[in-house]
Chains A and B, each alone.
Chain A
């Protein structure tokens, strides 16, 4: 009996081992033939049709839903355009499919959604919108080897983590904060500056960079106040700032707070210039602040759309289909285009294959000439400053980048490309 049981156990164990062992050998064999048909496809006539899934993540609900929807529309427009033109990558006919997700601008939700996209085996991700969600999600994409191009995450940490899959198509906050700080100190003649931020990765990061830039340019930072990205009442902190008699108030955060903040500044009689980063550079800010938005400033990476080749055409096409551009639509459009361009140059839609090609991108987008440095940041990013005049954002000047930096108020861009010395 004993020997029977032992021999039965041994038989069972060895059967299990054999299955396991054979299974392992099976897999490499199974993996090997898979790329082979893909590689063999170019030889075969282009009869294979593949669907490429591009994930897109942005807050589609909550206070920033209008920005998230704007991004999604831009991604959709890029994909529709590419599908309509007919796409062939590596000899196979490719149809692009957008996989949109909502991260509610919440870092916790962002990681859940990122994992969802990884499990859905998307070929690439465009997003997220907020730095606070992009940074934790980037780790998940890096671990899965999925390339990620963000059109709006400006916090420097995103590319400083050393992830080969992380890219962005706009200048980061190190540059933006510096430019804003110097603008506040010099052009706005701010001797004393008050800084408010919303304690998100983006708002806090931008405010810190602004503080460095402003101090470096000779302004005194009189106070730093904080709020959060869901608040609507700023009376207490604005009252405190009023007592410091600051010349310039800088807010690091999004338009859903910047708008009411500007309005409450006016109600409280706070006499200071109001400056925000790219988060406040939207039509929604003007809507929420009402009359109080008049004369306020903001900055946006890149140059005005109508100064870029293809910019006006994009603006017209987008506005006809989806309404007024909110903020990051052109950048997300470029991000999708860059991703597909890299796929074309690599001749493959597989993440491992086209990832190296993204780093070698040299693409003329609607927002800028897109080239990446070794970290994944945009090379030569410019920052433009705008002011609200007559209920609309009006361009003031551009700093940095190779773009003509002379203040061009209403003139057409100079044809001979004069550069400011």
Chain B
């Protein structure tokens, strides 16, 4: 089928974004056993900051403007991630797991409303600074921006893997995720490691935010909610707590959603139309939790209740 390749490519682009956001979820879960529901909102804030930065400095050439916008968004997101961890999650480190979970939802709502107060409720258009030229491969069309998105996402994932596997900080993170108490005895500063995890995750969120807003040319205060839920599903699909799982889960979920939305009309004989495209993520979530709770390549089942 001629559109099959196109749907796969759409799914790949979507999946790269999901994968980047899912990494943030999975890292925090791996280290703290906490699902950071506020992460989707951090992506949204990154997108808004990037959009307004580009709007403010739209006179600059694209090659300078985008990295600067990215840097600005990353700084804001890292600051927010750090702050959330310090004021909301650190005091609850010894509390039963339900408390930080609810706090995370609360932070998510706070961030949404903060964004609404700062940037209003309207949809904001991303200024047309990125030249988009479509290319044909295997009968499908992809724009240079989308190619960029896939490549950068891959680069970020490779960079993160390098960080985790080859650096001291990465080793400390791996140790903390295995057993925080013993890691402390080994001389790892747990607080610093956890802060670093949040900061790195938020930086990735900023990159994902810029990608989303550049790809769809729109940003608004509520965009993080659905994106966060789906990225969380992707992380669970791959195996939460597992970096490779998050990447695999993200890409897979993007492809499933894209194919599903494209073919659902044919599959159900017109009963469910393409406006049901969001249900796939949640069917996947339910399926994974019922049949394979540890995810596709997850080994560790959460012992911390």
Are B217 and A260 in contact, CB atoms less than 8 angstroms apart? Answer: yes
Known contacts being A256-B123, A260-B217, is A239 close to B274, with CB within 8 Å? no
Q: Which of B1-9, B80-88, B170-178, B188-196 makes up part of the contact surface?
A: B1-9
Shortest Cβ distance from residue B208 to the other chain A in the assembled complex, whole angstroms: 15
Is A263's beta carbon under 8 Å from chain B? yes
Chain A residues with Cβ below 8 Å from B257 are 236
Q: Which of A23-31, A227-235, A353-361, A378-386 makes up part of the contact surface?
A: A227-235
CA A224 to CA B265, docked complex, whole Å = 10
Is A65's beta carbon under 8 Å from chain B? yes
Are A288 and B275 in contact, CB atoms less than 8 angstroms apart? Answer: no
Partner of B7, one of A236, A266, A284: A236
In the complex, per-residue mask of A379-406: 1 if CB is within 8 Å of any chain B CB, else 0 = 0000000000000000000000000000
In the complex, per-residue mask of B210-224: 1 if CB is within 8 Å of any chain A CB, else 0 = 000000111010010
In the complex, per-residue mask of B107-137: 1 if CB is within 8 Å of any chain A CB, else 0 = 0000000000000111101001000101010
Docked complex: A196-233 residues within 8 A CB-CB of B? 199, 223-228, 231-233
Are A226 and B275 in contact, CB atoms less than 8 angstroms apart? Answer: yes
Chain A residues with Cβ below 8 Å from B277 are 236
Chain B residues with Cβ below 8 Å from A228 are 275
Are A232 and B223 in contact, CB atoms less than 8 angstroms apart? Answer: yes
Name the residue of chain B whose CB is nearest to the CB of A263.
B217
Are A240 and B262 in contact, CB atoms less than 8 angstroms apart? Answer: yes
In the complex, per-residue mask of A257-275: 1 if CB is within 8 Å of any chain B CB, else 0 = 0011001101111000000
Shortest Cβ distance from residue A255 to the other chain B in the assembled complex, whole angstroms: 10
Name the residue of chain A whose CB is nearest to the CB of B212.
A232
Are B134 and A267 in contact, CB atoms less than 8 angstroms apart? Answer: yes
Tally of A-B Cβ pairs under 8 angstroms: 89
Are B274 and A227 in contact, CB atoms less than 8 angstroms apart? Answer: yes
Are B262 and A233 in contact, CB atoms less than 8 angstroms apart? Answer: no
Docked complex: B1-44 residues within 8 A CB-CB of A? 1-3, 6-7, 10, 13-14
Are B7 and A239 in contact, CB atoms less than 8 angstroms apart? Answer: yes
Is B293's beta carbon under 8 Å from chain A? no
CA A259 to CA B124, docked complex, whole Å = 12
Are B275 and A239 in contact, CB atoms less than 8 angstroms apart? Answer: no
Name the residue of chain A whose CB is nearest to the CB of B258.
A236
Shortest Cβ distance from residue B62 to the other chain A in the assembled complex, whole angstroms: 14
Name the residue of chain B whose CB is nearest to the CB of A61.
B121
Name the residue of chain A whose CB is nearest to the CB of B277.
A236
Is A62's beta carbon under 8 Å from chain B? yes
Are A233 and B123 in contact, CB atoms less than 8 angstroms apart? Answer: no
Is B242's beta carbon under 8 Å from chain A? no
Is A407's beta carbon under 8 Å from chain B? no
Docked complex: A242-264 residues within 8 A CB-CB of B? 242-243, 256, 259-260, 263-264
Chain A residues with Cβ below 8 Å from B2 are 243
Is B167's beta carbon under 8 Å from chain A? no
CA A231 to CA B125, docked complex, whole Å = 14
CA A291 to CA B128, docked complex, whole Å = 8
Are A233 and B14 in contact, CB atoms less than 8 angstroms apart? Answer: yes
Partner of B143, one of A199, A226, A242, A267: A267
Is B233's beta carbon under 8 Å from chain A? no
Shortest Cβ distance from residue B51 to the other chain A in the assembled complex, whole angstroms: 13
Are B132 and A267 in contact, CB atoms less than 8 angstroms apart? Answer: yes
Are A269 and B125 in contact, CB atoms less than 8 angstroms apart? Answer: no
Are B258 and A260 in contact, CB atoms less than 8 angstroms apart? Answer: no
Docked complex: A71-95 residues within 8 A CB-CB of B? none
CA A62 to CA B220, docked complex, whole Å = 9
Shortest Cβ distance from residue A413 to the other chain B in the assembled complex, whole angstroms: 34
Is B103's beta carbon under 8 Å from chain A? no
Shortest Cβ distance from residue B264 to the other chain A in the assembled complex, whole angstroms: 9
CA A62 to CA B121, docked complex, whole Å = 5
Are A288 and B218 in contact, CB atoms less than 8 angstroms apart? Answer: yes
Chain B residues with Cβ below 8 Å from A237 are 261-262, 274
Chain B residues with Cβ below 8 Å from A231 are 275
Closest 6 CB pairs of A and B: A236-B261, A269-B141, A226-B275, A61-B121, A243-B3, A226-B273
Contacts beyond the supplied A61-B121, A260-B218: 7 A-B pairs with Cβ under 8 Å: A63-B123, A63-B220, A226-B275, A228-B275, A236-B274, A259-B125, A266-B134
Q: Would you give 10 A-B contacts (Cβ < 8 Å), ordered by A?
A: A61-B122, A226-B275, A227-B275, A232-B218, A236-B7, A237-B261, A239-B7, A240-B274, A267-B132, A288-B123
